[in-house]
Amino acid sequence: MDPLCTASSGPRKKRPRQVGASMASPPHDIKFQNLVLFILEKKMGTTRRNFLMELARRKGFRVENELSDSVTHIVAENNSGSEVLEWLQVQNIRASSQLELLDVSWLIESMGAGKPVEITGKHQLVVRTDYSATPNPGFQKTPPLAVKKISQYACQRKTTLNNYNHIFTDAFEILAENSEFKENEVSYVTFMRAASVLKSLPFTIISMKDTEGIPCLGDKVKCIIEEIIEDGESSEVKAVLNDERYQSFKLFTSVFGVGLKTSEKWFRMGFRSLSKIMSDKTLKFTKMQKAGFLYYEDLVSCVTRAEAEAVGVLVKEAVWAFLPDAFVTMTGGFRRGKKIGHDVDFLITSPGSAEDEEQLLPKVINLWEKKGLLLYYDLVESTFEKFKLPSRQVDTLDHFQKCFLILKLHHQRVDSSKSNQQEGKTWKAIRVDLVMCPYENRAFALLGWTGSRVSAAFIPGVALAFIRGRLGLPGARGETMAGVVVARGWTGKEEMVGRREESAQKSLNQGIPLAHGQLRQMPLE
């Protein structure tokens, strides 16, 4: 039996609950002067608390019987950070702003090591940002605590490239993709949000207790997490991976220009391989699909950062040949620090005239065509109206002039050491997306296109919360701010114009704190 869980035998008289149980204890040498612990009795019990206090003192820790201003760490068991805060409010106790809320596992590990172990995310108790316990009359609001807070909005969460929960996020990405193939938007959003929030965690989930207080994890999601924890895999994910429809849609949509409707059509016609589709003379393909099949092997392989940077040089050379003062910025995953991607996105803007902007992309396309670098292009003209609030029913990317291309990137541009006389194909087909943005909208557009698909999808929801008054801004200003974000650049008023992304983010941060570009790593690019 675990000695830490052993209770004294025999009946005992129940005593009234106290903030800190007084306990006669012989003096012990304190080895760690900078740490002052308080062990919370709630959900732990008096006997176990007393035992842990005595054991910790023997190990050289300073443990207080009562919570005081000198306490630096509160240790709790089976409590979330929000529950500890609620307990503090009920006790009418004001905590230090530097107070750490920790799970008892940190104390047990520390006692085993004979010294305080490093505090990681798995030790910190989570406090939801939507937590709003009602304080008692006369209670002074507890200042911010040094605990991990997780926002319900993806665009506000700091998500690095370090994913500590691959086993869960991979599963939810598969389920989200399958839901997308079935056009089940509710399930798609459910799994997409779950994968997104799990990627933002600075710790690995090892038990269901670790999911307490984390937003966007509903009952269905938690059931899947629990099954993976217990069995190492999800039966639902396993079934999806073995599903013929999922496998076919996964294959078909890997072709550039093939969407869900075409995939559904081919699946119903009995096709299960690309070779059968390509050899069928009765099928007609669009120009985009023809390019997708022609350069399939190149397009399904990942684009490396070196290749993306080489494409960036190509784009800048072409753009600056016509507009030397233009700004050319690589956006998307590569701007957030990713090493690989599926395509390369660029946002282009110039302080010149609107006419120069409108003519730039056609000139660039013509230049690449003459140089033999253009394999495919689709130029879409702008439908952007400067003083019109965009519709929520339309993807706002559709408002600006844009061009979807496939460019020929010679290997020598990526690695200059490669000889022109090398055998075989000397180039690779790369997907490139160019977006032409009005200069006055550049900062907000850059903010929108830097975030991932999930991050960008959440930003309008956060902004529109202003209109409903949830984030405390007046209706008029809230509507303006919502318009700014939903349009990814619509300014509305001159004072809202930003020349730099930092200015735009600072403006939005007055009510919507957003994560920095390199901290907006989300799934499902």
| pTM: predicted TM-score of the whole model, two decimal places | 0.64
Q: Which amino acid is at 308?
A: A
255 burial type by CB count under 10 A (0-12 exposed, 13-18 middle, 19+ buried): buried
- Number of residues that this document lists for the chain: 525
Q: 355 — phi, psi (to 5°)?
A: -65, -40
β-partners of residue 407 are 374, 430
Distance between CA atoms of 64 and 494, rounded to whole angstroms? 57
Q: 345 a known binding residue?
A: yes
Order of all β-strands in the sheet with 73-76: 62-63, 36-39, 73-76, 100-103
Nearest C-alpha neighbor of 315 from the set 399, 396, 403, 441:
403
Distant-in-sequence, close-in-space partners of 200: CB < 8 Å, separation ≥ 6: 150, 154, 157, 158, 159
Distance CA 72, CA 195 (A): 33
Per-residue pLDDT tens over the stretch 49-87: 998 999 999 999 999 998 888 888 999 988 888 888 888
For 317, other C-beta atoms within 10 Å of its C-beta total 12
Q: Which domains does the chain have, with CATH numbers?
A: 32-113 (3.40.50.10190), 154-242 (1.10.150.110), 244-300 (1.10.150.20), 303-471 (3.30.460.10)
CA distance 221 to 171: 10
Q: For residue 127, what are the β-bridge partners?
A: 149
343 is in an annotated binding site: yes
Mean residue pLDDT across the chain: 77
Q: Which residues are catalytic?
A: 343, 345, 433
Residue-level pLDDT at 422? 58
Task: Check whether 433 is labelled as a binding-site residue.
Answer: yes
Q: How far apart are CA 367 and CA 164, in angstroms?
A: 45
| Residue at token pair 């008289």 | 13
At 117-160, the pLDDT tens digits run 988 878 888 775 555 544 433 333 333 343 356 766 666 666 66
User: Which pLDDT does position 294 carry in this prediction?
Assistant: 98
Sheet holding 401-410, edge to edge: 327-331, 344-349, 427-436, 401-410, 374-380
Residue with tokens 């974000």: 485
pLDDT of residue 384: 64
Residues with pLDDT less than 70, the chain: 1-26, 93-97, 128-149, 151-161, 384-398, 418-423, 448-525
Q: Which of 436, 443, 432 is nearest to 358 (CA)?
A: 436
Residue 453 is predicted with a pLDDT of 55
| Those residues with Cβ within 8 angstroms of residue 32's Cβ, 6 or more apart along the chain or in another chain | 60, 61, 62, 115, 116
Give the tokens for residue 157: 């969460």
In whole angstroms, how far apart are CA 29 and each of 32, 43, 50, 56, 141? Answer: 9, 29, 18, 11, 36
Q: What is the pLDDT of residue 1?
A: 41
